[in-house]
Amino acid sequence: MPRPAKRLLALAVDATLCVLCVWVAFSLRYEQWITLRGIQWVAVVVAIAGALPLFVASGLYRAIFRYAGPAAFMAVVRACALFGVGYGLLFSVIGVSGVPRTVGFLMPLLLFLAVACSRMFARYWLGGMYMSAIDRKALPQVVIYGAGGAGLQLAAALTQSREMMVRCFVDDDERLQGNTLHGLRIESPDWLKDNAARLGITDVLLAMPSASRARRAEILNQLLPLYLHVRTLPALADLANGRVQIHDLLEVDIEDLLGRDPVAPMGDLLHRNIRHQVVLVTGAGGSIGSELCRQIVQLSPKTLLLVDMNEYALYGIHQELEALAPHIHVVPLLASVCDAARLREVMRAWHPDTVYHAAAYKHVPLVEHNPVEGVRNNAMGTLTAAQVAMECKVRRFVLISTDKAVRPTNIMGASKRLAEMTLQGLAQQKSSTCFSMVRFGNVLGSSGSVVPLFRRQIEAGGPITLTHADITRYFMTIPEAAQLVIQASAMAEGGDVFVLDMGEPVRIIDLARRLVELSGRTVRDDASPDGDIELHVTGLRPGEKLYEELLIGDNALPTAHPRVMKAHEACLPQEELWRQLEVLNAALRNSDVPALKRTLQQMLPGYRAHAEVVDWVHMERHRVAMTVVDRDDESANSDLTQPVAIAL
């Protein structure tokens, strides 16, 4: 029905209720059912003429009945109270001949009960609450962990839904346990452990958006043995704009499992090299580069230059930043960091104060199979960008490095360590450019991260693929990593290698198990042959390490930031470094992968190269060459078996 028609229907219902309540009030007074006649109809007319305008003015007909809540109920109370005062004053205090004074008190009470019950019935029927009662056993049985404001909003939203059935709240606060909230009992965590299987509970909705990560991790660890599907609400800032809906529920974040709270950023370090300055970010469309850009635009730069050679990624981050900070001048620039001429014209046009160099090929197996391009982009591209920055008198040049640069076993790590060394070599020269490097481990949610891969494999029913049962990695969220990069670079003095505190390393197999268990499934292994998801170990890939390190030596020093350390890594003398780089360039020009790896081993004492050359082009050339040799051998053997004519 159209909205005006619904309001007219509600008015008609309330007018009918006024007539019925007057009739019932007279019948109660005379202790028998009567027929209204004569002066008694004055009480009916006054009831309708007094109640309906008050109901309209109080907003009773603006409320949507199916979503009516405490506010709508209070509006009914206020309107009926005002009506009761006026009606009682007229018929009970002043008095009207032929109308008993008792009616002046009874009728408003009856009308309040009738109107309130009509609203409750409309909410129950139109909101589909009766369907939840009918289909109670067929719906997923869930509990809400957290009997606070967010839990109340979630319960209210789920009440309108027929997708889930909320059984109760669970909360650690003993003062709340045993009470009811939104008609649901508040139970203890021990109650959940004892009754989850018996009651068929399948899901836990974690409604504690303001809890610390350490507290959330503690709760999740308690829930792991129950094999329930755990989901969580967004942050409080995301809830502020409206009612919580079912689609707002998220899978548990891996940072909740890690239980590590980010340190609040230092405002002075954040703004020092950005506010009212021109900032350039290479690799602006990548995982780290794009988050750096998001952080930078919120720090009020004069201009932000986005440099990337991926057209689609550059377009995407440019559109996002324009919506995020329309008052900031953001310029998207297609360019490769290996193209000195293009970088030179960009820097000469805008004269950036700071360059954040995030452009790199970072996927270990992919770079291992394409070593020439990996080294050319990661190492020589860094050198090219840094030399152009020095030539254009950029004040600060910051390299985003990786823990894989420490004692590398793969081309990607070796190329990033070589990129660090090129900056260390440039820092030895007299220049107005301050070079620094920031080194950290894996970031959650980046392209190629194991967490999205594991989630997809779990949804597909498995198996989860792991390269080794004992492999460990450091993890950090992308926003935290980007903030720490900005703060670390503000403390640079020249040639610094900053290392971010990544917390404790995590075993990937433990991470996979937790994700499986928190999805409500079980791991299939020797101890549980009937489990849902199998963990399949495929073996280490070429160049992959069991564990990562952040420091080459043990000389890390603290800085002004508790999560940032500074290391002074050894570097080749400048003359020797440039000589070795010439040899490396020759190998790159000739696409000579064996020579490339030998040069890297000479330049990087800690580099433990993969024994085989797995470059796709090199292997294909070798395969073709071997095929030709085999054909020649077959041809020669075939000639030996042919009949030979002998002249006698």
Does residue 242 surpass a pLDDT of 60? no
Tokens representing 343 are 């970088």
Mean pLDDT of the chain: 81
Is residue 536 domain-resident?
A: yes
Residue 336 pLDDT: 95
The last residue of a domain, from among 593, 612, 633: 593
User: Residue 113: which of 32, 17, 8 has the closest Cα?
Assistant: 17
Considering the domain architecture, whether residues 187 and 317 belong to the same structural domain is answered as no
Range name among 72-81, 358-367, 516-525, 542-551 with the lowest pLDDT average? 542-551
The model carries a pTM of 0.64
Higher pLDDT, 629 or 269: 269
The last residue of a domain, from among 196, 223, 258: 258
pLDDT, tens digit, 9 for 90 and up, residues 280-319:
999 999 988 999 999 999 999 999 999 999 999 999 999 9
Q: What is the secondary structure of 625-642 as a DSSP string?
A: HHHHHHHHHHHHHHHHTS
Does residue 497 surpass a pLDDT of 80? yes
Residue 639 pLDDT: 56
Considering the domain architecture, whether residues 190 and 318 belong to the same structural domain is answered as no
Is residue 609 domain-resident?
A: no
Range name among 116-120, 130-134, 394-398, 626-630 with the lowest pLDDT average? 130-134
Count of domains observed in the chain = 3
Counting Cα atoms < 13 Å in the Cβ hemisphere of 382 gives: 31
Q: What is the secondary structure of 6-24 as a DSSP string?
A: HHHHHHHHHHHHHHHHHHH
CATH number for the domain spanning 248: value is: 3.40.50.720
Place of tokens 């990624």: 313
Are 550 and 441 contacting, i.e. CB atoms less than 8 angstroms apart? yes
DSSP E strands: which ranges in 147-271? Answer: 165-170, 180-181, 184-187, 201-206, 229-232, 250-251
**65 — pLDDT class (breaks 50, 70, 90):** low
What mean pLDDT do residues 92-107 have? 82
Considering the domain architecture, whether residues 48 and 181 belong to the same structural domain is answered as no
The Cα 599–Cα 275 span in angstroms is 42
Residue 118 pLDDT: 80
Is residue 644 domain-resident?
A: no
pLDDT, tens digit, 9 for 90 and up, residues 379-436:
999 999 999 999 999 999 999 998 888 888 889 989 999 999 999 989 888 889 999 9
pLDDT, tens digit, 9 for 90 and up, residues 1-46:
676 777 788 788 888 888 888 888 888 888 888 888 888 888 888 8
Residue 293 pLDDT: 94
Considering the domain architecture, whether residues 501 and 363 belong to the same structural domain is answered as yes
Does residue 520 surpass a pLDDT of 80? no
**648 — pLDDT class (breaks 50, 70, 90):** very low
Are 386 and 344 contacting, i.e. CB atoms less than 8 angstroms apart? no
DSSP 537: E
Considering the domain architecture, whether residues 286 and 168 belong to the same structural domain is answered as no
pLDDT, tens digit, 9 for 90 and up, residues 462-473:
888 888 888 877
Residue 223 pLDDT: 84
The last residue of a domain, from among 99, 127, 155: 127
Range name among 83-92, 164-173, 371-380, 496-505 with the lowest pLDDT average? 496-505
What mean pLDDT do residues 57-85 have? 72
Considering the domain architecture, whether residues 141 and 122 belong to the same structural domain is answered as no
pLDDT, tens digit, 9 for 90 and up, residues 345-383:
999 999 999 999 999 998 888 999 999 999 999 999 999
Q: Dihedral sign for Cα 97, 102, 105, 110, please.
A: negative
Which residues are CB-neighbours of 267 under 8 A, at least 6 positions away? none
Q: Are strands 229-232 and 250-251 parallel, antiparallel or unpaired?
A: antiparallel
Place of tokens 């704009």: 241
Residues with catalytic annotation? Answer: 404
User: Residue 450: which of 468, 470, 466 has the closest Cα?
Assistant: 466
Considering the domain architecture, whether residues 139 and 207 belong to the same structural domain is answered as yes
Name the most confidently modeled range: 81-95, 251-265, 441-455: 81-95
Does residue 454 surpass a pLDDT of 90? no
Q: How are strands ordered across the β-sheet holding 523-524?
A: 464-466, 533-537, 523-524
Higher pLDDT, 447 or 75: 75
Q: What is the secondary structure of 24-70 as a DSSP string?
A: HHHHHHHTS-----TTHHHHHHHHHHHHHHHHHHTTTTTS-GGG--H
Is residue 16 domain-resident?
A: yes
The Cα 219–Cα 226 span in angstroms is 12
Considering the domain architecture, whether residues 224 and 350 belong to the same structural domain is answered as no
Considering the domain architecture, whether residues 183 and 148 belong to the same structural domain is answered as yes
DSSP 378: I
Are 244 and 150 contacting, i.e. CB atoms less than 8 angstroms apart? yes
Is residue 125 classed as helix, strand or coil in its secondary structure? helix
The Cα 245–Cα 229 span in angstroms is 18
Residue 647 pLDDT: 42
Considering the domain architecture, whether residues 476 and 334 belong to the same structural domain is answered as yes
Range name among 228-242, 398-412, 435-449 with the lowest pLDDT average? 228-242
**244 — pLDDT class (breaks 50, 70, 90):** very low
Range of the domain at 359: 269-593
Residue 543 pLDDT: 63
Residue 45 pLDDT: 86
Is residue 611 domain-resident?
A: no
Considering the domain architecture, whether residues 400 and 489 belong to the same structural domain is answered as yes
pLDDT, tens digit, 9 for 90 and up, residues 624-639:
877 776 666 666 665 5
Residue 236 pLDDT: 45
Higher pLDDT, 115 or 283: 283
Considering the domain architecture, whether residues 83 and 196 belong to the same structural domain is answered as no
Element (H, E) at 427: helix 411-427
Residue 645 pLDDT: 43
Does residue 447 surpass a pLDDT of 70? no
Is residue 80 domain-resident?
A: yes
Is residue 643 domain-resident?
A: no
Range name among 146-155, 497-506, 569-578 with the lowest pLDDT average? 497-506
Are 119 and 76 contacting, i.e. CB atoms less than 8 angstroms apart? yes
Is residue 113 domain-resident?
A: yes
